[in-house]
C-alpha cells in the first residue's frame, strides 16, 4: 500500500477531502443496496481504525451522509441507513438537497422458528443483530454489476465466464436462424412453448428418470419465472407455503412479496426434517412445499431415496403439492434422486432451466406437471408473457438434440470438481470447516465468526460474499457462509478472511 493510498478509492492526494471520499463510498453502497435500510454503520472509532483516518474524518463523512438523507443518527446507538433511502448524488454534490425518498426493499418473514440442522448460530451474548451489508436484491445486483478489475466474487451464483462455450451458442443460433422454421417467428408462438424444445425435453426428462409427454411441459423465461408461474397459478395472498431452510434468499423474498406465509423446514444432509415438516403441515395446511432435491442451494446436499419416499407419503397424507426446483440438474449425476421420478408428476411439479449451464442470459426454463396442471400454467403464462422466445428455445433444442449440451456439461463438471477440490483445501487451511459435505457448485461453510460482520469488512476490499443470514427466512446472526467453489479459488480471499476473523477474535 502506497503512502498516499489508504485503500482503493480513498486517497490523501485526492481532489475531494477524505470525509467526502469516505461518504461517497458509503453512499455508493446504499445506492447499490449493498447496505440495506436499517443497517448500522460502523462506530466512528471502528470506521476510523478500519480506513486509517481520524475520528473527526469519519464524523465529517457521516454528517455528509445525514445531509444527503441517506443515514440517520440514533442517540446512544449510532448511525443507520434510512428506512426509505434516497438516491445518492455523486461526491461533488454531497451536502446538497436530495430528491424524494424511494421505497426500501422488503425482507422475507416466517412463522416457524425451526433452526436448520447443521446451522452454527452466533453465541447468545451477541446483544443485537449485526448490520446487513447485503440482502437478496443486493446479491442479484452483484451478479449484474460489471466487475472489471474487481476480484472474483465468492458470492457469485453462476459459473465463471471462461468455463462457458460462446462458440456452442453461436453454432446453435446459426443453425436455427438458417432453417426454414425461422419464418414462424413472424407470429406468436405456441403458448406452451416451442414444440421442438418440448420434444427434446421429453427425452431429457426420460434420461433422469422422469416420465413426461410433450403436453405436460410448459416453457418459461428461466427457472425463476417457472417458480413464479407455479406460485401465481396455485396460491393466493395469505396461503401457507413450506420452504427449505437454509434456502434461496430470492425465493423467500419473492414469495413474501406475494403475501404468502412462509413455513421454514430445516434442511439436513439427507433432506428436510420430516418431523418438523409434518408438524407445520398439520398446523397450517400449506398448499405447496418448494424444495431443491438435488444439489440444494446453499448446502450442496441431495435428497436420499428413503427420505424422498417418506416425503411423498407425507404430501399425499396432508394434501400439499411438491414443487421440485432442479436448477442445478446439469451439474448433478443423472441417477440423483428426484421426487418427480417417484410419482410420475402426479403430485410433483418439476422445474428446471438452462441458464446455470449454458449462459446466464439464455433465460430458458420449463415446468413439467400433470396434464391438467400444465393447462392451468399455460393460462397463467399467457396473462404474464403471452409466449416465450422461439429462437432461443429452438437453439437450446438443437444443443440437446446434437448432444452438445451433454458434452459441455461433462466438461464443466470436470472443471468444477477440480475447483471444488482447490477451494475446499484453501478453506480448511484458513481454519474453516464445511457444515455439509462439499458437493456441486456451492459450499456451506462455517468460518467461526459472524459472517455478516465479515461480509461488511470484506466488501471494503472488493470481495462480495454471501453471509448465512441471507439463507434464512428470518435473518439471524450466524457463522455460516455460502461460497461458490468455482469463484472462490483465489488464495488472497481466504488469507483476508482468516486475518479479519482473527482480528475480531
Segment 366-422, tens digit of pLDDT: 999 999 999 999 999 999 999 999 999 999 999 999 999 999 999 999 999 999 999
What is the fold, at CATH topology level, of the domain defined by 200-402? Answer: 3.40.640
> Going by C-beta distance under 8 Å and a sequence separation of 6 or more, which residues neighbour residue 78?
40, 41, 43
Cell 476510523 belongs to residue: 48
| The three grid cell numbers given for residue 66, joined into one nine-digit string | 445525514
Question: Residues 22, 50: contact at Cβ < 8 Å?
Answer: no
SS3 of residue 352 by DSSP: strand
Closest by CA position to 21, among listed 104, 90, 78? 90
Closest by CA position to 443, among listed 434, 451, 452? 434
Phi, psi (degrees; rounded to nearest 5) at 323: -105, 110
> Going by C-beta distance under 8 Å and a sequence separation of 6 or more, which residues neighbour residue 187?
none
pLDDT for residue 12 is more than 90:
no
pTM higher than the cut 0.75: yes
In angstroms, rounded to a whole number, what is the distance separating the alpha carbons of residues 229 and 457? 38
pLDDT for residue 229 is more than 90:
yes
The DSSP element (H or E) to which 64 belongs, if any, is helix 55-67
**5 pLDDT tier (thresholds 50, 70, 90):** very low
Of 20-24, 322-326, 378-382, which range is least confident? 20-24
pLDDT for residue 8 is more than 70:
no
State the average pLDDT over residues 62-89. 78
Question: Residues 241, 289: contact at Cβ < 8 Å?
Answer: yes
- Decide the pairing of beta strands 261-268 and 271-272: antiparallel
pLDDT for residue 149 is more than 70:
no
Q: Is 256 left (phi over 0), alpha (psi -120 to 50) or beta?
A: alpha
**177 pLDDT tier (thresholds 50, 70, 90):** confident
Q: Determine the pLDDT at residue 89.
A: 42
Q: Determine the pLDDT at residue 461.
A: 86
Per-domain residue ranges for the chain? 1-101, 200-402
Question: Residues 381, 229: contact at Cβ < 8 Å?
Answer: yes
The class (CATH top level) of 1-101 is: mainly alpha
pLDDT for residue 97 is more than 50:
no
- From residue 401, alpha-carbon distances to 192, 204, 208, 214, 362 in Å are 20, 10, 16, 15, 17
Reported as half-sphere exposure (CB side, CA atoms, 13 A), residue 440 has a value of 31
In angstroms, rounded to a whole number, what is the distance separating the alpha carbons of residues 62 and 82? 13
**33 pLDDT tier (thresholds 50, 70, 90):** confident
pLDDT digits (tens, 9 = 90+) for 420-478: 999 999 999 999 999 999 999 999 999 999 998 898 889 888 898 999 988 998 878 89
78 class by beta-carbon count within 10 Å (0-12 exposed, 13-18 middle, 19+ buried): middle
Mean pLDDT across the chain: 85
| The three grid cell numbers given for residue 435, joined into one nine-digit string | 457444515
| The three grid cell numbers given for residue 98, joined into one nine-digit string | 436530495
Q: Is 347 left (phi over 0), alpha (psi -120 to 50) or beta?
A: alpha
Same topology, domains 1-101 and 200-402? Answer is no
Higher-confidence residue of 30 and 192: namely 192
Q: CA 180, 186, 192 angle in degrees (round to 5)? A: 90
State the average pLDDT over residues 300-329. 97
| The three grid cell numbers given for residue 366, joined into one nine-digit string | 420449463
- From residue 495, alpha-carbon distances to 102, 150, 458 in Å are 38, 17, 11
Cβ atoms within 10 Å of 341's Cβ, excluding its own: 21
Q: Determine the pLDDT at residue 31.
A: 80
State the average pLDDT over residues 212-225. 97
**180 pLDDT tier (thresholds 50, 70, 90):** low
In angstroms, rounded to a whole number, what is the distance separating the alpha carbons of residues 34 and 141? 9
Amino acid at each position: 500500500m502506497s503512502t498516499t493510498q489508504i485503500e482503493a478509492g480513498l486517497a490523501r492526494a485526492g481532489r475531494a477531502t477524505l470525509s467526502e471520499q469516505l461518504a461517497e463510498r458509503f453512499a455508493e453502497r446504499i445506492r447499490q443496496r449493498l447496505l440495506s435500510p436499517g443497517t448500522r454503520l460502523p462506530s466512528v472509532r471502528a470506521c476510523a481504525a478500519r480506513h486509517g483516518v481520524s475520528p473527526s474524518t469519519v464524523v465529517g463523512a457521516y454528517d455528509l451522509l445525514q445531509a444527503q438523507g441517506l443515514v440517520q443518527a440514533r442517540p446512544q446507538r449510532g448511525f443507520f441507513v434510512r428506512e426509505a433511502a434516497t438516491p445518492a448524488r455523486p461526491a461533488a454534490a454531497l451536502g446538497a438537497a436530495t430528491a424524494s425518498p424511494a421505497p426500501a426493499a422488503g425482507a422475507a418473514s416466517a412463522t416457524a422458528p425451526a433452526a436448520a440442522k447443521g446451522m452454527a448460530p452466533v453465541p447468545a451474548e451477541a446483544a443485537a443483530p449485526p448490520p446487513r451489508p447485503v440482502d437478496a436484491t443486493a446479491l442479484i445486483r452483484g451478479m449484474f454489476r460489471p466487475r472489471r478489475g474487481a476480484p472474483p466474487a465468492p458470492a457469485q451464483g453462476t459459473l465463471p465466464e471462461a468455463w462457458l462455450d460462446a462458440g456452442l451458442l453461436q453454432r446453435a443460433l446459426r443453425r436455427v436462424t438458417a432453417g426454414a422454421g425461422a419464418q414462424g417467428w413472424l407470429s406468436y408462438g405456441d403458448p406452451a412453448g416451442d414444440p421442438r424444445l418440448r420434444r427434446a425435453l421429453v427425452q431429457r426428462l426420460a434420461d433422469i428418470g422422469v416420465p413426461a409427454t410433450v403436453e405436460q411441459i410448459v416453457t418459461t423465461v428461466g427457472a425463476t419465472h417457472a417458480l413464479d408461474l407455479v406460485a401465481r397459478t396455485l396460491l393466493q395472498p395469505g396461503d401457507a407455503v413450506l420452504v427449505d431452510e437454509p434456502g434461496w434468499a430470492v425465493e423467500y423474498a419473492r414469495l413474501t412479496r406475494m403475501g404468502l406465509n412462509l413455513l421454514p423446514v430445516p434442511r439436513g444432509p439427507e433432506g428436510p426434517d420430516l418431523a418438523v415438516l409434518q408438524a407445520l403441515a398439520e398446523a397450517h395446511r400449506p398448499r405447496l412445499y418448494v424444495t431443491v432435491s438435488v444439489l440444494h442451494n446453499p448446502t450442496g446436499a441431495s435428497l436420499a431415496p428413503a427420505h424422498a419416499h417418506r416425503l411423498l407419503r407425507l404430501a399425499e397424507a396432508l394434501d400439499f403439492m411438491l414443487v421440485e426446483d432442479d436448477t442445478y440438474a446439469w451439474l448433478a449425476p443423472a441417477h440423483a434422486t428426484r421426487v418427480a421420478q417417484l410419482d410420475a408428476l402426479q403430485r410433483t411439479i418439476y422445474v428446471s432451466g438452462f441458464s446455470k449451464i449454458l449462459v446466464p442470459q439464455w433465460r430458458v426454463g420449463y415446468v413439467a406437471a400433470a396434464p391438467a396442471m400444465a393447462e392451468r400454467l399455460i393460462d397463467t403464462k399467457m396473462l404474464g408473457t403471452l409466449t416465450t422466445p422461439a429462437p432461443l428455445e429452438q437453439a437450446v433444442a438443437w444443443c440437446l438434440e446434437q448432444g452438445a449440451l451433454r458434452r459441455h456439461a461433462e466438461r464443466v463438471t470436470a472443471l468444477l470438481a477440480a475447483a471444488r477440490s482447490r477451494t475446499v483445501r484453501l478453506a480448511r487451511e484458513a481454519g474453516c470447516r464445511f457444515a455439509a459435505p462439499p458437493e456441486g457448485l456451492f459450499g456451506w461453510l462455517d468460518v467461526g465468526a459472524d459472517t455478516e460482520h465479515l461480509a461488511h469488512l470484506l466488501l471494503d476490499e472488493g470481495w462480495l460474499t454471501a453471509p448465512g443470514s441471507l439463507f434464512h427466512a428470518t435473518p439471524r446472526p450466524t457463522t455460516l457462509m455460502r461460497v461458490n467453489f468455482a469463484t472462490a479459488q483465489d488464495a488472497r480471499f481466504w488469507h483476508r478472511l482468516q486475518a479479519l476473523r482473527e482480528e475480531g477474535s
